Amino acid sequence: MIRSPLMTVMTDAVMKASRSLKRDFGEVENLQVLAKGPGDFVSKADTKAEEILRAALEKARPGYGFVMEESGVVHGTDESNRWHIDPLDGTHNFLRGIPHWNISVALERDNQFIAGVIYDAAKDEMFMAEKGKGAYVNNRRLRVSGRNEPADMLIGTGIPHIGKGGHGQFLRELAAVMPRFANVRRMGSAALDIAYVAAGRMDAYWERGLNTWDFAAGAVLIREAGGTFGTLDGKPVTSAKDIICGNEAGERALSQALKTAAA
């Protein structure tokens, strides 16, 4: 466990938001769902959880800025710090009663992600990491897997949904990955999948077209768990869209496979 003041602020805010989401998840068939775009929906649960998170974090750290999925960018008076928030990652799973979704909160300080929390409320797993303090799930220290052979590795990814584009590129990349690794998983929540890599449950992960709130917390988890976290678009992690991570051998092998798809 990490018991720093910063982690206490983050986990307290996440737990407050989770109580609202768990109530809504229990009555998912009654949620009012608004179309946010083709194949992408936002429910009242999203916006309510984001409001709870923002209020709790603003009270604890006044002046910090925000980068939020639903409300966009809010500039704070403290230009060195800003929160990256996804109040409900895995919305499609949530709306269909699939218990694989999470709340993700990360802190960016001076252009580096320095702390992250990913809470899987359905399974009561709190993934947390802070720079220099390690990564944990509940009370257990996290380490990336020690697998070195691609044929033994389980790879995670995200499939671009309808309206997002990039389907052709994804199919080429998937065709390059499948013959080299034991298997591939698409579970529907980027943040939680990255947390699974940090926990050694999967060995590497890649996805394109993400936003920072999808992976900021996971980036801290991966690095504090002994893994590597990089970008596929050449941008700094704090502004990237296309990401790759894993244990050292897994990320290297996955990167090589993806390069063959681009050739």
Domains and CATH numbers, the chain: 5-141 (3.30.540.10), 150-262 (3.40.190.80)
* Alpha-carbon distance values, 230 to 174, 205, 227, 254 (Å): 19, 10, 10, 12
Residue 35's pLDDT is what? 66
Please say whether the dihedral angle defined by the alpha carbons of residues 137, 215, 175 and 260, taken in this order, is positive or negative.
Answer: negative
User: Could you write out the three-class secondary structure of the chain?
Assistant: CCCCHHHHHHHHHHHHHHHHHHHHHHCHHHCCEEEEECCEEEEHHHHHHHHHHHHHHHHHCCCEEEEECCCEEECCCEEEEEEEEEEEECHHHHHCCCCCCEEEEEEEECCEEEEEEEEECCCCEEEEEECCCEEEECCEECCCCCCCCHHHCEEEECCCCCCCCCHHHHHHHHHHHCCCCCEEECCCCHHHHHHHHHCCCCCEEEECCCCHHHHHHHHHHHHHCCCEEEECCCCCHHHCCCEEEECHHHHHHHHHHHHHHHC
CA separation for the pair 194, 203 (Å, rounded): 10
CA separation for the pair 174, 223 (Å, rounded): 25
Residue 161's pLDDT is what? 86
Residue 169's pLDDT is what? 95
Terminal CA-CA length for the chain = 44
Residue 37's pLDDT is what? 61
Residue 208's pLDDT is what? 97
pTM (2 d.p.): 0.94
To the nearest 10 degrees (0 to 180), the angle between helices 5-26 and 44-60 is 160
Kindly report, residue by residue over 152-199, the tens digit of the pLDDT: 999 999 999 888 889 999 999 999 999 999 999 999 999 999 999 999
Phi, psi at 116, each rounded to 5° = -150, 145
Residue 11's pLDDT is what? 98
Residue 263's pLDDT is what? 64
With a cut of 50, list the residues of the chain below it in pLDDT.
none
Angle at 85 between CA 125 and CA 166, to 5 degrees: 95
